[in-house]
Structure 1
């Protein structure tokens, strides 16, 4: 077979392109994000974005005279290359007269599992490790009440963060199933909020229009209010290409920088949806540790009289621990334990994992339609037995961050 499907893999483990042979007679249609091939920002461009803030004076000015600084950053389930951002933030803080001993970093991991030292080093850069204190957020303890939102969310925030008088957040904007887009205020809630605060926020009901419109999405608006209550001085949002490289930065006033970033993200991540396919190949890369994130938006590509999906998830780390939504055992569940439902027109979902993790299948409803395979040749054999050598195939190389007009 000379017909190849090529998808990005291993975001934190030497990113590379995975080449998967498929039958030569298969008709392949690849749908990439609009900005997937944009070039990574140069160091000069990164510095310019971080020293020319949106609707805000420079950090070197607004941080002057502050006593304690906290920098929160998104966790290892996101591929934001924070290490490329941090040096210029630290330069600005030094210009403001802030000593290293008064700066700390906190991973905004929400209710995800804690990061370890090796992950901190990859995320922030090895040079940061011996110079600054770095902590994981703990959603179970040491969170301080800062107020209640108009939607009744009692906001409790990491107490170390609350006690600091200058606060910076570094993350990325990508499509998100609850808030429509990540980044901005989402770094505060759920990033450094307590478990009960996060649960209340995630339980806010949304109608169909609110689920796809960031401006009226009540979960996002509630997060926005929480960030106002908690306080955030500088927000840094990155837009990412198909490899996770930063191609644009929106930094400055939290609300205005995030709004500008979301406006850009709407077109940057836009993807053509293909329809009426026998097979849909759904690759996860940016959020491979939350591998069902790309499925719901791609279900409509399967032909209505029946077809199959291959969900590719190659994550040496496995799936991120999620204390609200994820599995906790065979007989017990987490607080919400949301499972992916499989539409009737999808006949099979083959989860292709070169790093198998059986428990990850618990993110699906119990169904004989779902199987896990670790050898690509086995995947092809099953699909070939069903569809033969003449199938129409859709490929979504970055399904976990792709955005369609109707989602």
Structure 2
């Protein structure tokens, strides 16, 4: 059987399963959504005090195999490995505790998305791996993908060893030198267009200290994902780690969201909804930028801010970080 490792994201539909597995697999085998609110088996606590409850259907299996990808992640460093179990098939209590206690939380109550590419010194990642061991994950398959989401390499085996071996290559593939002091940043959320919030922080760091304009692109018909932990479900209410944005990121004077599939509610985890301008065409964006900057401006274009990551962005020159 197959279980979609959704964590606290919204449920998949048949068309989603078919895209992931092919049209024949859902007809031949059982394919389930993960339900983080019910039917999870309690396994105890991690050494960091995180309560662990994991999907009971997963726990009932004799052989447990995960299939994930090694794309950069803003809090867990990279995907794959133990992350497929938590948040993948864990309970809402376990996910909220891991994310709330082991991630940096801003004054607004929002997770700070600033641990891209870091794994061995990352308490959240290490806790995920401990949970995956407790759940008995037998074999981990981790794909490295390019900007077209083609698989270019596979790293398979132990949930930590295979993931770390993949991370070595992932750093070479995804890490980029960080531009800085820009007047304008155009940041495309391409591979994860339904998680456009991921590119807001990196775009902010590339702007000059006195401020500039940030354009975010999230072009996907499904719109922004449902996230039961981090998104809003009302004007000022939301998941346990939803923080109501009241101001733009520190260096952003104006923020634009480009695309016909950007909805007002979908801006909730990107920034303050009423301070973001939605425009449907590149021509409209150019017109708005030229009115402020004329024909002379330093502009940075990020083709895919959900696959690229910038380990030294915002840090003083010469700073060494784990993984360098």
TM-score (norm 1): 0.71
Which of 350, 355, 372 aligns to 2:256? It is 350
Aligned residue in 2 for 1:71: none
1:331-354 Cα shifts (integer Å, max 9, x gaps): 422211145663333111100022
**How far apart in 2 are the matches of 1:209 and 1:112?**
21
Candidates 276, 279, 285, aligned match of 1:379: 285
2:294 maps to: 388
Match of 1:163 in 2: 60
Conserved 8 A contact 1:347-1:369: no
Distance 1:231 1:109, change over 3 A: same
Q: Using a 3 Å threshold, how does the CA distance of structure 1 residues 386 and 123 change in structure 2: closer, same or farther?
A: same
Structure 1 counterpart SS, 2:233: coil
Judge conservation of contact 2:116–2:311 (CA < 8 Å) in 1: no
Decide which structure has the larger Cα Rg and report it.
Answer: 1
The alignment of Structure 1 onto Structure 2 pairs a total of residues equal to: 304
For 1:277 and 1:163, how far apart are their aligned partners in 2?
53
Against the structure 1 CA distance between its residues 229 and 249, is the aligned structure 2 distance closer, same or farther, given a 3 Å change threshold?
Answer: same
Contact 1:351 1:372 survives alignment (8 Å): yes
Query: Which residue number corresponds to residue 78 of structure 1?
Result: none
Equivalent residue, structure 2, for 1:220: 125
For structure 1, which runs of at least 5 residues remain unmatched after alignment?
Answer: 1-103
| 3-state SS, counterpart of residue 391 of structure 1 | coil
Alignment RMSD: 1.9
- Counting only pairs closer than 5 Å after superposition, residues 231-270 of structure 1 correspond to structure 2 as 231-270=136-175
Q: Which moved more, 1:214-223 or 1:367-376?
A: 367-376
Structure 1 segment 193-232 matched on structure 2, within 5 A? 193-206=90-103, 213-232=118-137
User: 1:159: Cα distance to partner?
Assistant: 0.2
Q: Residue 318 in 1 paired to residue 223 in 2?
A: yes
**Is the 8 Å Cα contact of residues 183 and 208 (structure 2) preserved in structure 1?**
yes
- Structure 1 residue 271: Cα displacement: 1.0
Residues of 2 paired with 1:300 and 1:365: CA distance?
A: 15
Matched, 1:336 2:244: no
| Unaligned stretches of 5+ residues in structure 2 | 105-112, 314-324
SS at match of 1:196: helix
| Aligned partners of 2:73 and 2:115 also within 8 Å | no
Q: Give the alignment partner of residue 26 of structure 2, picking from 129, 135, 138.
A: 129
1:191 to 74, 82, 88: 88
Counterpart Cα distance in 1 of 2:274 and 2:11: 33
Native 8 Å contact 2:39 2:55 kept in 1? yes
